[in-house]
Amino acid sequence: MKKHLLALAIAAVAGGASAQANDTVAKAKASGVVTMGVRDSSGALSYTLGDGKYAGYHVEICQRVIANLEKAAGRKLEVKYQPVTSQNRIPLVQNGTVDIECGSTTNNATRQKDVAFLPTTFVEEVRIAVKANSGINSIAQLAGKNVATTTGTTSVQHLRKHERGAGIQFNEIYGKDHAESFLLLESGRADAFVMDGAILAGNIATSKNPADFKLVGEVLSVEPIAIMVRKDDAALKKIGDDTVRELAKSGELAKLWDKWFQQPIPPKNTKVGYAVSESTKAAWANPNDKPMEEYAKK
């Protein structure tokens, strides 16, 4: 908590002085430093190996972008890692503390007012996890049940909106992180856990007894997850767009997916075992930075 508030306070103070930090290429040329925003535990997208080292699918894509940024800046760049959280990532990008954010940020219309996104590299599906023996198979059966989600995520918002359409009422309970939300489901305090499919799959895979849980029901929403850069930073956005398009066209993104989601990854050499979804394949076939709202229209 303290960290978040501190970061917000810094963001609020530095917000006034952000105007001169808009052009990352010029900044990198002058200082020789570029700051990458990373997440400590966003599954295989971005996670820490300890000792200030970070890895993951998005981190690796960002490294490709930065390699092209080096070419544009014409000098070797030192990459600084700045861990960010759900609470502070947007202010930190806006005020120039972070030049390129490589975590697991959903590209939506509200955020596009504040920041810009590279083409979508990962499309997440929000799903429902329940105990295999619970008899719950659809959203309609969640009426009157306790539904867990993690504080500081948007997943339950989709269920809430869905709820109105289907006319069902449920109790929202919040875990303070994904591990605790899963514990709510495991200990019976919650009947369902609503979250991104990859996170649910990861938690189930590492639970004591994976066969006790299953993913059920409709896909609540699809969320384009993308790398975030400053708004009005046209030069870096162009480099990033070109890099992602090139990676998508050459089939490199599919290889990176295989490397991070299908093969054993460090530090524990465990497999996430998450197959690439149709919506992610569609995003690769036709790279774009459309916000979540445009996916919902389909």
Residue 114 lies near another protein (rule: CB under 8 A): yes
Helix axes 197-205, 178-186, angle to 10 degrees: 60
Residues 6+ apart with CB under 8 A from 114: 90, 94, 231
CB of 40 to another protein, least distance (A): 16
Cα–Cα distances (Å) from 241 to 62, 64, 157, 238, 271, in that order, read 11, 11, 30, 5, 29
Residue 189 lies near another protein (rule: CB under 8 A): yes
**Alpha carbon distance 185, 175 (integer Å):** 10
Residue 251 lies near another protein (rule: CB under 8 A): no
Residue 187 lies near another protein (rule: CB under 8 A): yes
Q: By C-beta, is 172 or 218 nearer to another protein?
A: 172
Stretches 7-15, 37-45, 56-64, 193-201: which one binds another protein (CB under 8 A)?
7-15
Binding another protein by CB under 8 A: which of 140, 143, 179, 188? 188
How buried is 275 (Cβ within 10 angstroms: 0-12 exposed, 13-18 middle, 19+ buried)?
exposed
**Alpha carbon distance 272, 264 (integer Å):** 7
Encoded tokens for 162: 């869905």
Q: By C-beta, is 16 or 52 nearer to another protein?
A: 16
> Are 149 and 195 in contact, with CB atoms under 8 Å apart?
yes
CA dihedral 180, 278, 143, 179 (to 10 degrees): 0
Q: By C-beta, is 14 or 282 nearer to another protein?
A: 14
Encoded tokens for 44: 């295989």
Residue 168 lies near another protein (rule: CB under 8 A): no
Binding another protein by CB under 8 A: which of 75, 161, 255, 259? 161
Q: By C-beta, is 42 or 153 nearer to another protein?
A: 153
Residue 5 lies near another protein (rule: CB under 8 A): yes
Q: By C-beta, is 104 or 243 nearer to another protein?
A: 104
Q: By C-beta, is 149 or 243 nearer to another protein?
A: 149
Identify the residue whose tokens are 């120039």. Answer: 96
The binding site for another protein (CB under 8 A) comprises 1, 4-5, 8, 11-12, 15-16, 86-88, 90-91, 110-111, 114, 148, 151-154, 157, 160-161, 163-164, 172-176, 180, 183-184, 187-189
